Amino acid sequence: MLKLYPPLEARKTGRMRVSDIHEIYWEESGNPNGLPVIAVHGGPGGGSSPEMRRFFDPDIYRIILFDQRGCGRSTPHSELEENDTWALVSDMEAIREMLGIDKWVVFGGSWGSTLALSYAVEHTDRVHGLILRGIFLITEAEIQWFYQDGASRLFPDAYDRYIAPIPEEERGDLLHAFHRRLTGEDRKARTEAAKAWACWEGETISIQGPSSRPARFEEDSFADAFARIECHYFVNKGFFPEDGWLLKKAKEKLKGVPGIIVHGRYDVVTPLATAWALTKVWPDASLHIVPDAGHSSLDSSIVDQLIRATRTFGKLFG
């Protein structure tokens, strides 16, 4: 089974002013003359991590990471104004132009798959191909499944902790109940809601369950940006014109664009049905269903398939 490449330091880092409010962090590692790839983190609001560099052979790839608006090392922290899907697509294009890259591979998981697809349907001519994990399209069905009550059937213990900050009379619409607290003036209620929201995802990303929750999901600063920005995007339906819009655009725009999709069979956060639907409208994408994995990109079987995918694209486009 293939494992992550050894730890790798960023070779170049920088900051880019992308609006009157926002400044984003970006970095570059690997081979400066290699195959360009932009790795898109999840959330939204999750921020990039050093582990993301390790999915790529540093001798083959020129690896670009960035922190999306309001999270990670980008500033201002947890800011919702001027923060939407199309602003982030514009930021990616600005990074590409600044670095003088003609075309690149786009790599992303979970919300990173949403943003990668959004970028690809807007700038198809700038994409060699897409490597995606844990497909998420921000449809009403997906939001209801994970943030209302669908996933509660599999993780009732974690679900009770998730809904604890919300009074029983407001639990019929958890998304908006959390949104009121995450955008309200009561700082204590905001922090409590943010940590409950973040830990719900942290406790369900792996088939190991709550015991494998990453520590950062309980950190106040991380949880605040993660929960606020996610909820902001989901309340606004991903800033798409209609439900299911991204699937329709993929069918129209991605013909001829190679794709590799890796998805855990037991992914509770972003169920497999969404990836299955995407491959039906995007015949140039191959779907690899991992039989013993959930949502986490660091599940060993997911890592194995993602490394195989980056090696495939390295040979195809390098």
If DSSP codes are grouped into helix, strand and coil, which group holds residue 164?
Answer: coil
Distance CA(176)–CA(278), nearest Å, equals 28
Helical H runs in the chain? 85-98, 111-122, 140-147, 156-163, 174-182, 187-204, 220-235, 245-253, 272-281, 300-317
Amino acid letter, residue 166: I
Q: Residue 105 forms beta bridges with which residues? A: 37, 129
Closest CA to 111 of 199, 4, 238: 238
Active site residues: 110, 267, 295
Q: Residue 127 forms beta bridges with which residues? A: 104
CA-to-CA dists, residue 318 to 96, 129, 280, 310, 312, angstroms? 18, 12, 28, 11, 10
Q: Who's near 238: CB < 8 A, 6+ residues apart?
A: 85, 114, 137, 138, 246
Contact 36, 48 (CB under 8 A): no
Contact 197, 227 (CB under 8 A): yes
Contact 13, 53 (CB under 8 A): no
Distance CA(95)–CA(48), nearest Å, equals 15
